[in-house]
Structure 1
Amino acid sequence: MAAHASWNGVLLLGELPVEVSLYAAASSAERVSFHIVNRRTGHRVRRELVDESTGRPVEHDDQLKGYDVGDGRYLVFEPAEIASALPKGERTMAVEGFIDLDDVDPLYFDRPYFLGPRAHVSTDAFGLVLEGMRKRKVAALARAVLFRRVRSLLIWPGEGSFMARTLNFDHEVETQPAILKRVADVKVKKPMLDLARHIIDTKTGTFDPATFDDRYDAALADLVRAKIEGKPVRRRKAPARTKPDDLMEALRRSAAQAA
């Protein structure tokens, strides 16, 4: 099946326009999903929007967005009013500058995408920008209206295309809780530190995403399969929790397993 572009537009680098398409680089489509059903009838239950005062269903054409101003009152906005207030340039991804990729704290990373040349469009301009950024080892900061929201993006050269990530805004990133900063004040005894270092050294490797599986989704898939086949559902045991007083012993057991 051909990949479906999430967004089509123009990557604008100064006065140089490059027609591009944005493709999702991660998907949750393969996860096990459930519907809500009626326990008594086994029929699927569908959600319906109702008026909280009258309890009556509200037709789609009568559903508007409202801003809560308190005391149960709402400012009501027509779709045209909201559309007129949205920023223009929905098909332009404007590059605002270039930075080192490592300059961006991963806390600001949001969704990953592939950014490639638009189908049936010359790739000369795209290849020029891609190779130029690869040679200079830089990433681009860009801004675009994506899915009716202004978003900042980090764009960097990948294999044959750009990689891109939408970025969280500063006000969306939480500050580190003060309690976490107290960890720096903990005094660690040398024998325990030596054991911890041994465990780290013996388990040091490289990142291979194929070795990580979604255990929750796998458990749900097993549950569904067992139900279909009429087999009993096996309950998984929870891992034993380590008590604070057993920390040294837990380190020793971990070191023995890692050896």
Structure 2
Amino acid sequence: MDPVFFDKTYFLGPRGAQYGKVYALLERALAESNKAGIATFVMRGREYLVALKAEEAEGLLTLHTLHWADELRDPHAEVPDLPGKVEATAAEVKMAMQLIDALAMEWEPEVFHDSFREKVEALVKAKASGETVEKAEPAAEPTGAVDLMEVLRASVERARSPKDTGDKATSPGSRAAGGKKAPAAKKRARSGPAAKGRELMGLTKAELYEKAAAAGIPGRSSMNHDQLAQALSHPGRRK
């Protein structure tokens, strides 16, 4: 079902203890069949189209009110600047997929919050206490036409770890530019905090995020690669 049809969500419960078995049976049947029930009902003098779903929380049914088909607007009429069918090159698609993969992480809604509201509340408190409030810098102006491949490549390099984007080590016996033999790399320490930090910096952002999730590090969804590595290196420094 297309999410554009969904409006509001309600939790459902049985009308009484005697209806518990019927409720549980319907929840289990919908869950195991991976289907939703579609119906209409009247609430507050208005008829609603609804979807009845079994949620991931075992034993719970939810009711989702839906928009009627004629309530949906035509996006092509509402958004006149849609590009239509624009063909991207294979290289551009591949680079975009690499960027998505580098930024991918598990969805954890509880770590997101209304930062705009928090800033407004802090501003009100600051003004009430007589503090000086500095104005925010104006937004940057659009730069106009850009090289899409260069922008994608730069974004991928920022998202990836130094292991993926840094200069590749030259193998023993190989030649550097000009035909000179490349110096051998110094032996790295194999233990201690520094070695742990280097090991973490060598992981991808997705790998770091998995470790951060397992360690229960708060705010991990908003961290970049280096911040995740630092938080894992020194977990006691973050509250």
The TM-score, its normalising length taken from structure 2, stands at 0.56
- Per-residue CA deviation, residues 109-156 of structure 1 (Å, 9 max, x unaligned), is 101121112366541221122222223322111211123211011011
Paired residue for 1:165, among 47, 64, 72? 64
Moved more, 236-245 or 109-118: 236-245
Partner residue, 1:255: 156
- Would the aligned equivalents of 1:153 and 1:165 in 2 still touch at CA under 8 Å? yes
- Per-residue CA deviation, residues 134-191 of structure 1 (Å, 9 max, x unaligned), is 2332211121112321101101112221122100011111112166795343232444
User: Secondary structure in 2 aligned to 1:152?
Assistant: strand
Partner residue, 1:201: 101
Task: Provide structure 2 residue ranges, at least 5 long, that are not aligned to the other structure.
Answer: 161-239
More contact order relative to length (CA 8 Å, sep ≥ 6): 1
Residues 224 and 197 from structure 1, CA distance in 2 versus in 1: closer, same or farther, beyond 3 angstroms?
same
Residues 218 and 253 from structure 1, CA distance in 2 versus in 1: closer, same or farther, beyond 3 angstroms?
farther
Structure 1 counterpart of 2:63, which letter? A
Does residue 192 (structure 1) correspond to residue 89 (structure 2)? The answer is: no
Paired residue for 2:125, among 225, 228, 252? 225
- Identity of counterpart residues, as a percentage? 25
- Would the aligned equivalents of 1:242 and 1:250 in 2 still touch at CA under 8 Å? no
Q: How does 1:107-126 map to 2 (within 5 A)?
A: 107-118=4-15, 122-126=19-23
For 2:139 and 2:94, how far apart are their aligned partners in 1?
Answer: 25
Q: Give 1:239 deviation, angstroms.
A: 4.7
User: Secondary structure in 2 aligned to 1:177?
Assistant: helix
User: Secondary structure in 2 aligned to 1:201?
Assistant: helix
Q: Give 1:220 deviation, angstroms.
A: 1.5
Q: Give 1:224 deviation, angstroms.
A: 1.9
- Per-residue CA deviation, residues 17-65 of structure 1 (Å, 9 max, x unaligned), is xxxxxxxxxxxxxxxxxxxxxxxxxxxxxxxxxxxxxxxxxxxxxxxxx
- Would the aligned equivalents of 2:9 and 2:63 in 1 still touch at CA under 8 Å? yes
Structure 2 counterpart of 1:215, which letter? S
Does residue 213 (structure 1) correspond to residue 113 (structure 2)? The answer is: yes
- Would the aligned equivalents of 2:41 and 2:49 in 1 still touch at CA under 8 Å? yes
Structure 2 counterpart of 1:144, which letter? F
Q: Give 1:241 deviation, angstroms.
A: 4.8
- Would the aligned equivalents of 2:27 and 2:54 in 1 still touch at CA under 8 Å? yes
Residues 189 and 220 from structure 1, CA distance in 2 versus in 1: closer, same or farther, beyond 3 angstroms?
same
Q: How does 1:57-96 map to 2 (within 5 A)?
A: none
Structure 2 counterpart of 1:200, which letter? I
Task: Provide structure 1 residue ranges, at least 5 long, that are not aligned to the other structure.
Answer: 1-103
Residues 241 and 205 from structure 1, CA distance in 2 versus in 1: closer, same or farther, beyond 3 angstroms?
farther
For 2:16 and 2:132, how far apart are their aligned partners in 1?
Answer: 51
User: Secondary structure in 1 aligned to 2:145?
Assistant: helix
Moved more, 157-166 or 187-196: 187-196
- Would the aligned equivalents of 2:76 and 2:82 in 1 still touch at CA under 8 Å? no
| Structure (1/2) with the larger strand percentage | 1
Q: How does 1:164-183 map to 2 (within 5 A)?
A: 164-177=63-76, 183=83
